[in-house]
Structure 1
Amino acid sequence: MLHECRMTWDDLELLRRIVDAGTLTQAGKVLGVDQTTAARRLARVERQLGVTLFDRIDGRLVATPALAAAIDHLTVMADAARQSEAALRHTKAELDGRVRVSSIGFVLTGVLAPALGAFHAAHPRITLDFVAETRNASFERREADISLRLARPVGDQAIAKRLGAVRFRLYRAGAGATAGRPVVRYDDDLAHVAEMQALDRLRPRALVALRSGRLDVLAEAAVALGAELMLPELVGDGDARFLRASDEEATAERELFLLVHPDRRRTVSVAAVVQWIEATFRERFARPNGGAPPGRGVTSPACRS
C-alpha cells in the first residue's frame, strides 16, 4: 500500500507518463524535461512514498504491484488535473475578450459609463464596446452580445430579463414661471411611447419648439430655449440645469429589459458583463430621487426604443 505523502499534480503526471512510455527518456520528452530530471523526480516520489514504484524489466520500467494497484486512480486524477488546467486557460482567454453592449444613449452615458471604474478594476482585460442605438441591434446579425431596451422584446432570438422600470417626468430648464414655456419632444415616429403620451396630457396646447430623436439634442435645446421636456429621472434629477415641472403623480414608466445573445450568454466575459449591468441597475434603482447621482448632465446620444 502506498504511504500517505504530499504528491503534486506534476508527480501524478510523471508517473502516468512513465507507465505509458516505459522509459524515463521518453516520459521526459513528453513532459519537456531531460532524463536526469525525470529520474530525480521519480526518486523523490518513491522516497516520499517509501515504496518502489517501477521495476526495470528488459530495459523498460514496469509498474510494481504497489503502483499497479493505484494506477487507475492516478490516471483519473491526472486527467482531472489536465482538464481543470484546460478549463482555467479557456476561462482566462474568455476574460481577455471584447463584449459589445448596445442600448439607448442615456443608459450608456447616464448609468453604465459612470460605473465603469468598478467593472474595469474587476475585469481589466475585458474590452467593452458601447453602441448607442438608433434602432434595435440585431442578435441574428451579431450586432450585439448584450442589449438594453425600453420595451418588452418581441420575436427576438435572445434571452431576456426585466431589470426594472425607468420613470420619466416633465422637467423645465432653469427657474421661473412654467406658463407659456415651449416644449421639445421626440420625433413623430416616437409619439406612441409612454413619456410622449404623458407630455401630451400635461401640455396639450404647448408650442413645440423642436422635435428630435436624440435625447441629448432635446436637452441642450431645452436649456437654450428655457423649454420643458420629458426626461428619465435617472438623468433629470442629476442634472442641475433642470427642475421638476410636474407633481409626483405626473410620471410615465417604461420597462427596461436586458437581452443576451443565446450563443454568447455562457461565455465567461459576457456573463461577467451581465452580472455587472444587473448589479449597477439594482444600485441605481435603489437610490432616492430616481437613482440619479447629483450634478450629472444629460449627455446621451440617442433615445430610440
Structure 2
Amino acid sequence: MAVKLQLEWRLLQTGNAKMQINWNDLKFLLALARAGKVADVARETGVDSTTVTRRIKALEQALQCQLFKRIDNRYLPTEALQQALRNAEQAEREIGLMTQRLTQQDAHLRGRVRITSVHTFINSYLLPRLSDFYERYPDIELEIIADSSQLDLGRHEADLAIRMGRPGQQSIVTRRLTELHYSVYAHTRLADQGRELSGLPWILFEERYSSLPEAQWQQQQVPEAQACLYCNVGLAMLNAVKSGLGVACIPCYMGQPEPELVALVPPFSLRELWVLMHPEKRNLARVRAFLDWLEQQVNADQALFLGQAEDTIDGT
C-alpha cells in the first residue's frame, strides 16, 4: 500500500521541477498500459519500439519505481501503477483540455502580431497595404516596429521579421519572399539633361553604410560618382531623388510607383526579401494569417519588386 501511495503522489507531483518528469513520457505510459504491446504503441505514436521502451525506462527512473511486468510479450501494469493510472489519465485530460482551449482561442484569429522591418519597406510598401489585411482580419492587432537593428526573435522581441537579405541564424524559421531588383532613379527634370551617370549628382549612403549591396554596386559601377548628399536611411534618399537633388540606387518597389521618377539603367538583382520567425511562432494562426497575406501581396506585386513594368530612359 505504501508503494501505491508513493507512486500516486509522484504522479500528482509531475509539475515539480525536482521530479524532472517529461510530460511526453506520460503519453507513452498510458498508451502502453492500454495496448500492452510496445509494437502497438510504436505504431500509434509514430516512433520505433526502441524509443517507446527508452521513454518507459526514463519514466521508471524518474519515479524510482517499476511500472510494468512483462508476461508473454505483453506489458502489464504493476499493482502500484494500476492504482496511480487514474492520476496520469487525469493529467492527460487536463493537458488535452488546455491544448483545446488554446487552439480554439488561436483559431479565432485574434490577438497581436509584432512585426519588425526596416523603415523603407514598412513605409513604402507595407503600411499602404495594411487596410486590406484589416478588412480580412479585423480582430488581429498589428504592432509595427520600424528598426534597422535586428531584434532578437529568440527572445520574442518580435513575432516576424522582414529582412532584406538571407538570414544566417540556424535556429530561426525562414522563408524567401522574392528577389529585390534595383535601379538608378532620377527626377524627370534631371534625367532630361542627358548626362552620363558619372556626370550626375549622387545621393549616397554615409560611409558607415558603405558595405551595403547598393553602396557596393555604386562604388563598382560608378566609382567616380560625385556626392551631393549623404543619407543613412533609404526613405530619405528617395525623397531627395523626388526633390530633384540627385540620383540614387534604390529598390524598384520604391522608385517605380513615383510618377516623377525615371529609371536610368535596366533593373538588376541586388538583394532578396526574407521573412523570419521563431519556431514557436509559426504554428500560431494569427501569425500564419499575416504571413499568408504578406506572401499573397508580394506574389501579386512581382512586377513591382523586379522592376518589370517600367521603361528605362534608354528605352530598354
Q: Is 1:196 the equivalent of 2:212?
A: no
Aligned to 1:219: 238
Distance 1:165 1:288, change over 3 A: closer
Q: 1:251 aligns with which of 259, 268, 278?
A: 268
Q: TM-score, normalised by structure 1?
A: 0.62
Deviation by residue 1:120-178 (Cα, 9 ceiling, x = unmatched): 11110101111112211211232210011111111363200111110011011232214
Aligned to 2:148: 134
Q: 1:91 aligns with which of 83, 92, 106?
A: 106
- In 1, Cα distance between equivalents of 2:134 and 2:215: 36
Aligned to 1:169: 183
Q: 1:185 aligns with which of 198, 201, 204?
A: 204
Distance 1:223 1:83, change over 3 A: closer
- In 2, Cα distance between equivalents of 1:270 and 1:109: 21
Distance 1:279 1:227, change over 3 A: same
Deviation by residue 1:192-216 (Cα, 9 ceiling, x = unmatched): 2222222223322121122222112
Q: Is 1:155 the equivalent of 2:172?
A: no
**Deviation at 1:88?**
6.4
Letter in 2 for 1:275: D
Does the aligned pair in 2 maintain the 1:146–1:259 contact within 8 Å? yes
Distance 1:162 1:254, change over 3 A: same
Aligned to 2:290: 273
The runs of 5 or more residues in structure 1 that have no matched partner are 1-81, 294-305
Distance 1:171 1:83, change over 3 A: same
Aligned to 2:139: 125
**Deviation at 1:252?**
3.9
Letter in 1 for 2:144: F
- In structure 2, the residue corresponding to 1:140 is in which secondary structure? helix
Structure with larger Rg: 1
Letter in 1 for 2:125: V
Deviation by residue 1:239-266 (Cα, 9 ceiling, x = unmatched): 12311112x2x63420111101222111
- In 1, Cα distance between equivalents of 2:170 and 2:254: 28
- In structure 2, the residue corresponding to 1:148 is in which secondary structure? strand
Distance 1:241 1:152, change over 3 A: same
- In 2, Cα distance between equivalents of 1:86 and 1:199: 55
- In 2, Cα distance between equivalents of 1:156 and 1:142: 16
- In 2, Cα distance between equivalents of 1:263 and 1:223: 42
The structure showing larger relative contact order (alpha-carbon pairs under 8 Å, at least 6 residues apart) is 1
Q: TM-score, normalised by structure 2?
A: 0.60
Distance 1:288 1:276, change over 3 A: closer
Q: How many residues align?
A: 210
Aligned to 2:22: none
- In 2, Cα distance between equivalents of 1:132 and 1:86: 33
- In structure 2, the residue corresponding to 1:199 is in which secondary structure? helix
Does the aligned pair in 2 maintain the 1:183–1:208 contact within 8 Å? yes
Does the aligned pair in 2 maintain the 1:236–1:292 contact within 8 Å? no
- In 2, Cα distance between equivalents of 1:84 and 1:197: 50
Deviation by residue 1:31-70 (Cα, 9 ceiling, x = unmatched): xxxxxxxxxxxxxxxxxxxxxxxxxxxxxxxxxxxxxxxx
- In 1, Cα distance between equivalents of 2:134 and 2:244: 39
**Deviation at 1:190?**
2.4
Instruction: State percent identity of aligned pairs.
Output: 23
- In 1, Cα distance between equivalents of 2:106 and 2:308: 34
Matches for 1:1-305 after TM superposition, within 5 Å: 86=101, 89-92=104-107, 95-155=109-169, 157-175=171-189, 176-179=192-195, 180-246=199-265, 248=266, 251-286=268-303, 290=307
- In 2, Cα distance between equivalents of 1:183 and 1:254: 21
